[in-house]
Amino acid sequence: MLSETRYEHILLNEERVPIIAGTTMKVIELVLDHLAYGWSPEELHFQHPYLTMGQIHSALAYYWDHKEELDQDIKTTAAVC
């Protein structure tokens, strides 16, 4: 029997913004590095050595599972800047 799991390394802050547990980094910040530069999880770890591979994979999984919502946040933020 399958049961649902949670994203072990992802928390929602007071504004319900997903952040990587144990850091102040927003999931979307890591995702933007991944999208803008095409960085693999290994390269993301090289660029952000304070993150574990588990944190990185969890953040990317969260993004893909919530892609539509987070992509909208990216567009909204880009329009403001």
* Domains defined along the chain, listed by start: 10-75 (1.10.10)
**pLDDT bracket for residue 64 (50, 70, 90):** very high
Measured distance CA(63)–CA(25) in Å, rounded: 14
State yes or no: pLDDT of 3 exceeds 90: no
Measured distance CA(71)–CA(37) in Å, rounded: 16
State yes or no: pLDDT of 74 exceeds 80: yes
pTM: 0.87
Q: How many alpha carbons lie under 13 Å from residue 78 in its C-beta half-sphere?
A: 9
Over residues 50-74, the mean pLDDT reads 96
Pick the range with the lowest mean pLDDT from 13-17, 36-40, 57-61, 65-69: 13-17
Q: What is the pLDDT of residue 5?
A: 59
